[in-house]
Structure 1
Amino acid sequence: MQLDFSYYNPTKIHFGKDSLAKLKDELSDYGDTVMLTYGRNAIKSNGLYDQVISILNKAGKKVVELSGVMPNPTYEKLMEGAKLVRDNDVSLILAVGGGSVIDCAKGISVSAYCEEDPFQKYWVEFQDVANKIVPVASILTMVGTGSEMNGGSVITHDEMKYKAGRVFPVDVYPKFSILNPEYTFTVSQYQMVSGVFDTMSHLMEQYFSDEGVNTSDYLIESLLKSSIANVRVALNDPKDYEARSNIMWNATLALNTLTGLSKTQDWQVHMIEHQLGAYTDCAHGMGLAAVSLPYYRHIYSNGIDKFVRFATEIWGVSPEGKTKDEIALEGLDALEQFTKECGIVTSLEELGATKDMLPKIAESTIILGGGYKKLTTEEVQGILEECF
C-alpha cells in the first residue's frame, strides 16, 4: 500500500429481505417533513411505494413528493426538488430507486440552500459546500452506481450538453441505505446487465492504475469474479436471491471508496461516457461498455503487467507460450465475449449516437491523468470512432 490514506464511511446499511422494517426506527432521528424522491411508476407497480408511504404516515411524517426523476437526472429536475425542500422545510430526502434517484437526491441536498448557481459552483468549479445540507437516505431498487454508500452525484445540464459527476464529502453520503435484493427482481434484463457492467467499470477504473498489486487490487479481483459469476446465474433465474444479493452487495462495495484505497485510479472511461450520455441519454452501464473495450485496447501496452494479470486472474487466460501483449489482448477479448454473452450493447450507433456527434463529445470530455496514459482530445475521438 504505497499511498497514504484516511478512510471513513458514515452510511449505515440495512441489508436483506426484512431491511425495510428498519425504516421506522431511522425516521425518529429526523424532523417532521420527508421528501419522497423516486422515478416514474416502478415503485408504485411493485407495491414498494405503498409500503414506504404507510411507514412514513405511521411515523407521523408529512410527506412531500418529487416524482419522475429520470435515468440521467437533469439539473432542471434537481432544481425542482430544491424548491420543494425550501418551500416545505424538508428535514430528510428519502430517495427510493436506483442510482440516478439517489444522485439527484444528493444534488438537491447541497443545492437547496445554495445562493449561487449550484451546478456552476459544485459540478463545474468543484467548490466546497458551505451552505446548509439536507440529509439524504435511500431505499435501493436497482444496482450498479454504488450511490447508496458514497458521495457521488452525476447530473446532466441539458442546455450546456454537459453531464458532470461530483464526489461530495462524507456529510453528503446517505445517512442510511436500505438494500433488499428482492426489490431488484422486476428490473429488466437490460437494466440488470447494464448495472453489472457499471459495477465492473467502477472496479476496472480503480484497478488499471499504479504498478504492482496491493490489497485493494485483490479486493477488486474478487468483486469482479463475483460479478461475472453471479450475473450468469441471474440471467438464467432473475429471482435467484443469492445471485441478486451478491450483485447488489458487489455494486455497493465497488464504489464505497474501499476498493480505491492507495490507488491513483483512472476514471477516463467514465469521463468519456458522461459526455456520450449528455448527447444520447443512453443507459450509463451500456455507454461504459461501449467505451471500455476500445479504450483499454488503446492504453493496455502502457500498463501491460496489470492487463496481463487481469487476463490470467479474472478470465483464466493461460500464459504458456504467449507474449505479454498476446495475454493482455486475450483478456480483453474475453471481456468482449462476456459483454456479448450478457447482451450488453457495445455499439454507439445502438445507443443513439451519430458520427457527427463525436467531435463535440470528444471536445467536451474532461481529460484526466490517473491511469496508464493521458489521452489527447484526438485520441478520445479515435476511441469513439472505434465504437461504431
Structure 2
Amino acid sequence: MNLDFTYKNPTTIHFGKDSLDKLTEELANYGDTIMLAYGRSSIKKIGLYDQVIDILKESNKNIVELSGIMPNPTYKKVVEGAKLVRKNEVDLILAVGGGSVIDCAKAIAVAAYCEDDPWQKYWIDFEPISNQVVPVASILTLAGTGSEMNGGSVITNEAVKLKMGRVFPAEVNPKFSILNPEYTFSLPKYQMVSGIFDMMSHLMEAYFSNEDDVTTDYLIEGLLRSIINSAKIAVENPKDYEARSNLMWSASLAMNPLMGLSKTQDWQVHMIEHQVGAYTDCAHGMGLAAVSLPYYRKIYQAGLDKFVRFAIQVWDIEKAGKTKAEIALAGLDALEEFTQECGIVINLKELGATEEMLPKIAESTIITGSYKKLTTEEVLEILKTAYTA
C-alpha cells in the first residue's frame, strides 16, 4: 500500500427483507418537509411508492414529489428539483429507485443553494462545495451504480452533449440507505445484467492500475468472483434471494471508495462510455461492456502482469504452456464469454450509436487512463471496434 489515503463513509445501511421498517426511526432525525424523488412507474408497480407514502404520512411529514427522473438524469431535471427544494425548504431528499435517481438527488442536494452555475462550478471546474447541502437518503431498487453508499453523481447536460461524473466528499453521501434485495426481483433481465456489468466495471477501473502489492486488489478479486457466481445464478433464477442479495451488496461495495484505496485507478472506460451515453442515452452498464473489451485488448500489454493476474485469480485460467500475453488474452476472452452467457450487449450499434456519432464521441471524451494514455485517434479505434463487435 504505497499511496496515502483518508477514508470516511458516513452512510448507514439497512439491509434485508425488513429494512423498510427502519424508515420511520430514520425520518425522526429530519425536519417536516421531505422531497420524494423517483423515476416513472416502477416503484408504483411493485407497491413501494404506496408503502413509502404511508410511512411519510404516519411520520407527519409534508411531501414534495419529484417524479420522472430518467435513467441518465439530465441537468434540466436537476434544476427542476433544485427549484422545488428552495421553494419548499426541503429538509431531506428521499430518493427511491436506482442509481440514476440517487445520483440526481445528490446533484439537487448540492445545486439547490448554489449561487453560481452549479454545472460549471461542480461538474466542469470541480470546485469544492461552498454552499448548504441538503441531506439525501435512498431506498434502492436496482443494483449496479453503488450510488447508495458514495458521493458520486453522474449528470448529462443535454444542451452541450456532455455526460459528467463527480465524486463529492462524504458529506454528500446518503445519510442512510435501505437495501431490500426483493425490490430488484421485478427488474427486466436487461436492466439486471446491465447493473451487473456496471458493478464489475467499477471494480476493474480500480484494479487495472498500480504495480505494487495492494490489499485492495485482493478485495476486488474476491468481489468479482462473487459477482460472477451470483450473476450466473440470477440470470437462471431472477428471484433467487441469496444471489440477488449478494449482487446488491457487491454493487454497494464496488463503487465504495474503499475499493480504490491506495490505487491510482483508471476510469478511461467510464470516460468513453459517458460520451457514448450522452449521444445515445444507452443503458450505462451496456455501454461500459461494449467499450471495455476493445479498450482492455488495446492496453493489456502496458499492464501485462495485472492482466495475467486478473485471468488467473478471477477467471481461473490455467497458465501452463501459455505466454503471459496468451494468459492475459484468455482472461479477456473469459470476460467476453461471461457477457454472452448473461446476455449483456457489447455492440455499440445495438445500443443506438451511428457511425457519424463516433468521431464526435471520441473528440469529446476526457482522457484519463492508467497503464496507457490514449490519443483521440485511439479512442476512435476502440469505438469503431465496439461498433462492429
TM tier relative to shorter chain: over 0.9
Aligned match of 1:50: 50
Aligned match of 1:189: 189
- Partners in 2 of 1:84 and 1:15 — Cα distance? 30
Aligned match of 1:209: 209
Aligned match of 1:152: 152
- Residue correspondence of structure 1 range 101-116 to structure 2 within 5 A: 101-116=101-116
Is the counterpart of residue 362 in structure 1 residue 362 in structure 2?
A: yes
User: Is the CA contact (8 Å cut-off) linking 1:104 and 1:153 kept in structure 2?
Assistant: yes
Aligned match of 2:133: 133
Aligned match of 2:171: 171
- Partners in 2 of 1:11 and 1:365 — Cα distance? 32
Is the counterpart of residue 373 in structure 1 residue 372 in structure 2?
A: yes
User: Is the CA contact (8 Å cut-off) linking 1:212 and 1:306 kept in structure 2?
Assistant: no
Unaligned 5+ residue runs, structure 1? none
- The count of aligned residue pairs is 387
TM value normalised by structure 2: 0.99
- Partners in 2 of 1:375 and 1:73 — Cα distance? 28
Is the counterpart of residue 89 in structure 1 residue 71 in structure 2?
A: no
Q: Deviations over 1:179-229 (max 9, x none)?
A: 000000001100000000000000000000000332100000000000000
State the superposition RMSD in angstroms: 0.6
What is the SS of the residue equivalent to 2:93? strand
- Partners in 2 of 1:385 and 1:116 — Cα distance? 39
- Partners in 1 of 2:335 and 2:351 — Cα distance? 19
Aligned match of 1:319: 319
Aligned match of 2:221: 221
Q: Deviations over 1:43-74 (max 9, x none)?
A: 00100000000000000000000000000000
User: Is the CA contact (8 Å cut-off) linking 1:312 and 1:319 kept in structure 2?
Assistant: yes
User: Is the CA contact (8 Å cut-off) linking 1:135 and 1:175 kept in structure 2?
Assistant: yes
Aligned match of 1:257: 257
Report the AA paired with residue 344 of structure 1. I
- Partners in 1 of 2:161 and 2:7 — Cα distance? 34
User: Is the CA contact (8 Å cut-off) linking 2:2 and 2:212 kept in structure 1?
Assistant: no
Report the AA paired with residue 383 of structure 2. L
Unaligned 5+ residue runs, structure 2? none
- Residue correspondence of structure 1 range 63-78 to structure 2 within 5 A: 63-78=63-78
- Partners in 2 of 1:297 and 1:212 — Cα distance? 22
- Partners in 2 of 1:360 and 1:52 — Cα distance? 43
Is the counterpart of residue 349 in structure 1 residue 367 in structure 2?
A: no
Aligned match of 1:61: 61
- Partners in 2 of 1:213 and 1:179 — Cα distance? 33
- Partners in 2 of 1:368 and 1:299 — Cα distance? 13
User: Is the CA contact (8 Å cut-off) linking 2:209 and 2:263 kept in structure 1?
Assistant: yes
What is the SS of the residue equivalent to 1:386? helix
- Partners in 2 of 1:327 and 1:58 — Cα distance? 59
Q: Which runs of 4+ in 1 moved over 6 A?
A: none
Q: Deviations over 1:294-324 (max 9, x none)?
A: 0000000000000001111111111001100
How far the C-alpha of 1:236 sits from its partner, in A, is 1.1
Identity of aligned residues (%): 71
Aligned match of 1:40: 40
How far the C-alpha of 1:115 sits from its partner, in A, is 1.2
How far the C-alpha of 1:148 sits from its partner, in A, is 0.2
How far the C-alpha of 1:158 sits from its partner, in A, is 0.4
User: Is the CA contact (8 Å cut-off) linking 1:220 and 1:259 kept in structure 2?
Assistant: yes
- Partners in 1 of 2:205 and 2:234 — Cα distance? 24
Q: Deviations over 1:115-154 (max 9, x none)?
A: 1111111001101110111000000000100000000000
- Partners in 1 of 2:6 and 2:76 — Cα distance? 35
What is the SS of the residue equivalent to 1:355? coil
Is the counterpart of residue 307 in structure 1 residue 312 in structure 2?
A: no
TM value normalised by structure 1: 0.99
Aligned match of 1:277: 277
Aligned match of 2:17: 17
- Partners in 2 of 1:226 and 1:38 — Cα distance? 30
Aligned match of 2:335: 335
What is the SS of the residue equivalent to 2:30? coil
Report the AA paired with residue 161 of structure 1. K
User: Is the CA contact (8 Å cut-off) linking 1:98 and 1:140 kept in structure 2?
Assistant: yes
